[in-house]
Amino acid sequence: MKLPLSALVLITAGAAFAAEKVPLTFSAILTTSKEKRFGVATEGGTHSAWVVLGSEFEGYQLSGYDDDSQTLTLLHNGKTYKLPMASGNVKPMSSKATLDDATVVLSKMKFEQMMARTLIDQQKQTVALLSKQMLGQMSTQVPSDELAAFQGKLTDTLWAEMKPEDLKKDVAKIYADLFSKEELRAMSDFYATPAGGALIDKQPQMQQKMMDLVTPRMLKAMPRIQEMSTEFIAQQKAKNPSGVPTALKPTASGSTANAPVPAPAPAKKS
């Protein structure tokens, strides 16, 4: 049976379409409480992103995803393409990051607000320690209002050297050195998600809860640490009753020896 010419044209076109290769790779899925994001990249890894269904990447729209086959459906110039998830042997992407790439991530992380919260807590502890060291026993005799005013001045002095906007520039350099452009872009995409935003916003509470877990354990170990320290000091005193480190004892020539000075030989009986 002969096929109509129109049918032959459609079959030929379909075969040619099937042979076309999508110049993208699909390597990962990021699942949040509300949506899925798909890690796609250009061949060679020069550009990558976490993309949601309905969005475009390099002119290809992500129109669907099949869980069973782990395959994305893409639309491009009126054509439909299937892009299966790549194997675990995908070549890692490692383009050199720029300061702008790092700054975008830090902005998504709300760096200034985060550092301000962290530094305020740290400064309170540091100022309390500094004032106690500087005033010594006198700190218990200073009126509370004057002590608070003094600690406020110390805080202002410390804060003048801890400007979040300046720290952000320095941290951006560290991020740009440590992470690739693709890694920073993936971080930026994540922090733009509801889950990423929740992680940033709840970071202070999480850190406090972690401290609540760690502090009692540290305090529980303190008596044993003090006991070990006392035993160590006693051992050292037993080895050197004079209290002068062996390495600093003068030699017969008057110089300081680096090696232990041998004990004098017992006198021979005449």
Candidate ranges 97-101, 206-210, 256-260; pick with highest mean pLDDT = 97-101
Look at residue 146 in the predicted model and tell me its pLDDT. 78
Q: How many CA atoms are closer than 13 Å to the CA of 167, on its beta-carbon side?
A: 16
Give yes or no for residue 61 having a pLDDT over 90: yes
pLDDT in tens, 149-182: 777 777 677 667 777 778 889 999 999 999 888 8
pLDDT in tens, 235-247: 888 888 775 555 4
Tell me the domains of the chain and their CATH numbers: 21-84 (2.30.30), 99-192 (no CATH)
Look at residue 102 in the predicted model and tell me its pLDDT. 92
Q: What mean pLDDT comes out for the span 237-258? A: 58
Closest CA to 186 of 86, 53, 91, 49: 49
- Taking the model in full, what pTM does it have? 0.47
∠ CA 238-241-244 to the nearest 5 degrees?
120
> How many Cβ atoms sit within 10 Å of the Cβ of residue 127?
19
Residues 6+ apart with CB under 8 A from 124: 155
Q: What mean pLDDT comes out for the span 196-218? A: 86
The radius of gyration of the chain's CA atoms, rounded to the nearest angstrom, is: 34
